[in-house]
Amino acid sequence: MILLIADDESVIRKGLLSLNWSKLGIDTVLDAQNGIEAKQYLRDYDVDILVSDIRMPGHSGLELSEYIQKTSANTAIILLTGFDEFQYAQQALRNQVFDYLLKPVKPDELMSAVAAAKCKIEQQKYKTQVVNEFEGNVGNYTTTEKILYSFRNIDVQVFSILTFMAQNYHEDISLNTLAEKYHFTTVYLSRLIKKETGYSFVDILTCIRLMNAVDLLKDSKCKIHIVCDKVGFKDQRYFSQVFRKVFGHNPVEYRKQNEMNEKYSIMELLELKAAKGGE
């Protein structure tokens, strides 16, 4: 991972360069003493993270962020400034700047910001990889691939949350456990998921479980209570009720129908569930 530090003040630049970036998994650290040098680095290298002073000769940090946005580069931008003026923050946000820190910035504060930017970049790369693999895959898809392909245009943080749900749907997942894991309040997390996906946490989790239940029901030797337990429903009666409301049959009846070759995507189940009216 490549980090570019751009600051026209030599003392500050050297201080930033002396930080232990390798601890964060940063392989290469480049430095530029003005905006012109920084822009050339952005042209020559696939810079992952830019830490830049907001005011520099040649090109300002804001101009660099505008350049990155226009070139559609996947570079996370962290701007540093000694000018505590809201207009700078407003423009920085318009240019999709990842973070905005005031000088004198504390080393721990900057390291934390870079670590957070690195995490976001890795999530984005994973998201792209999953979508590409799904589109190029010919065989069966994993639950994670199905979920993430269906919601491929959402925020990377929610993408990470859905990944966790897709991989752990059989566990006792709740909004509280997710809020604790991702350091959000339950109210904020609930609203975030709904805003990004259009569906509630409960609806998405329920449909993930139902999607997997349908696959397990194709095995006539797999008993209903085993299916129930494997997909995360702890109460067989409740499982049957939810299943009936979505599919019009309980699991036993569904297995007897000529529907066993039916395949559902998560979006189809969410739409079907919404059409049937909640749980």
User: Any idea what the CATH number is for the domain that residue 222 is in?
Assistant: 1.10.10.60
Say yes or no to pLDDT of 65 above 90. Answer: no
Has residue 89 been placed in a domain?
yes
In a domain, 135, yes or no: no
The answer to the question of residue 116 being in a domain is yes
Q: What pLDDT shows up at residue 258?
A: 58
Global confidence as pTM: 0.61
99 and 165 share one domain: no
Is residue 88 predicted with pLDDT exceeding 80? no
With helix as H, strand as E and coil as C, how does the chain read?
A: CEEEEECCCHHHHHHHHCCCHHHHCCCEEEEECCHHHHHHHHHHCCCCEEEEECCCCCCCHHHHHHHHHHCCCCCEEEEEECCCCHHHHHHHHHCCCCEEEECCCCHHHHHHHHHHHHHHHHHHHHHHHHHHHHHHCCCCCCHHHHHHHHCCCCCHHHHHHHHHHHHHCCCCCCHHHHHHHHCCCHHHHHHHHHHHHCCCHHHHHHHHHHHHHHHHHCCCCCCHHHHHHHCCCCCHHHHHHHHHHHHCCCHHHHHHCCCCCCCCCHHHHHHHHHHHCCC
Residues counted in the chain: 279
Domain shared by 100 and 9, yes or no: yes
Q: Residue 82's domain is classified under what CATH number?
A: 3.40.50.2300
pLDDT at residue 47, as a whole number: 93
Determine, yes or no, domain membership for 274.
yes
Asked if the structure places residue 128 within a domain, the reply is no
Q: How large is the average pLDDT for residues 219-227?
A: 90
Domain that holds residue 244: 140-279
Residues 24 and 55 both lie in one domain: yes
250 inside domain: yes
C-alpha distances out from residue 106 to 19, 56, 241, Å:
11, 20, 56
Contact partners, residue 56, CB within 8 Å, separation at least 6: 6, 7, 8, 34, 35, 38
181, 87: one domain:
no
Task: Choose one of 77, 95, 123: the last residue of a domain.
Answer: 123
Please report whether residue 134 resides in a domain: no
The region of weakest confidence among 19-28, 91-100, 119-128, 200-209 is 91-100
Number of domains in the chain: 2
The pLDDT assigned to 28 comes to: 94
| Residue pair 213/227 in contact by the 8 Å Cβ criterion | yes
The pLDDT tens digits of the residues spanning 244-279 come to: 999 888 998 888 875 556 778 888 899 988 887 654
CA of residue 78 relative to chain centroid, distance: 19
Last residue of one domain, picked from the residues 93, 123, 153: 123
Q: What is the pLDDT of residues 226-239, one digit of tens each?
A: 999 999 998 999 99
Residues 13, 146: one domain? Answer: no
Position 90 scores a pLDDT of 59
Do residue 146 and residue 270 come from a single domain?
Answer: yes
Do both 278 and 145 map to the same domain?
Answer: yes
Average pLDDT, the chain: 85
Examine the domain organization and report whether 170 and 201 are in the same domain: yes
Report the pLDDT value the prediction gives residue 195, as an integer from 0 to 100: 93
Same domain, 78 and 158: no
